[in-house]
Chains A and B, each alone.
Chain A
Amino acid sequence: NAGVTQTPKFRVLKTGQSMTLLCAQDMNHEYMYWYRQDPGMGLRLIHYSVGEGTTAKGEVPDGYNVSRLKKQNFLLGLESAAPSQTSVYFCASSSSEQFFGPGTRLTVL
């Protein structure tokens, strides 16, 4: 079992560019989450999904969109990147406790 995987691991964008972060899990979990982690701020929930075809907003959803077309995948999109979106992004899935991916380090110049 690979658990939770994230691609890419690193990315540098220019302001205004778009990109999609991919999260995949092989544990058949219904729940999936996207967080961002900034120094001193801890993990903050961006969006989450309680099952295939469903998504919901978290604490900091502005500037991001998500899709859950397949149960095992949860995509996070940035339509027009801003420097404030420079962060480390973590995906997680859960049945009870959460299993996290290795993270994507995104820099927006």
Chain B
Amino acid sequence: SQKIEQNSEALNIQEGKTATLTCNYTNYSPAYLQWYRQDPGRGPVFLLLIRENEKEKRKERLKVTFDTTLKQSLFHITASQPADSATYLCAPQTMRFGAGTRLTVKP
């Protein structure tokens, strides 16, 4: 069966450090993978989309990698800030999401 696993439920890091979140999927062959941010009590907001022929994509302090052989995407936030604290969801298929990783950045 198809599975999406995000590395952990919660990740705590210190301000200024790089946060790395992992998304692993099985029994999918996605043409692209998306990452979303969700704040408490709100709907998810789209951040980045990376296609299968792209190894890496960047947007400001965000970087996403996509390894179709490992069936894994890594999501990095560099120079993290307390405002980056949120839950981050990956979606290797348009209508299927991982359970998310709750990131807390401590000042």
Residues of A within 8 A of B (CB): 4, 33, 35, 40-43, 45, 48, 58-59, 90, 92, 94, 96-103
Residues of B within 8 A of A (CB): 4, 9, 34, 36, 41-46, 49, 89, 94-100
Which A residues are CB-close (under 8 A) to B96? 45, 59
**Does A43 contact B44, Cβ atoms closer than 8 Å?**
yes
Docked pose: A99 CA to B42 CA in angstroms: 12
The dominant DSSP class at the B interface is: loop
**Does A103 contact B46, Cβ atoms closer than 8 Å?**
no
| Given contacts A41-B99, A42-B99, A94 and B94 within 8 Å (CB-CB) | yes
**Does B42 contact A103, Cβ atoms closer than 8 Å?**
yes
Residue ID in chain B nearest A88 by CB atoms: B41
| Given contacts A42-B89, A94-B94, A96-B49, A102 and B43 within 8 Å (CB-CB) | yes
Docked pose: A94 CA to B34 CA in angstroms: 13
Residue ID in chain A nearest B93 by CB atoms: A45
Contact of A42 among B41, B42, B49, B97 (CB under 8 A): B97
Docked pose: A75 CA to B63 CA in angstroms: 37
Contact of A40 among B46, B94, B97, B99 (CB under 8 A): B99
**Does B43 contact A103, Cβ atoms closer than 8 Å?**
yes
Which B residues are CB-close (under 8 A) to A98? 34, 36, 44, 46, 94
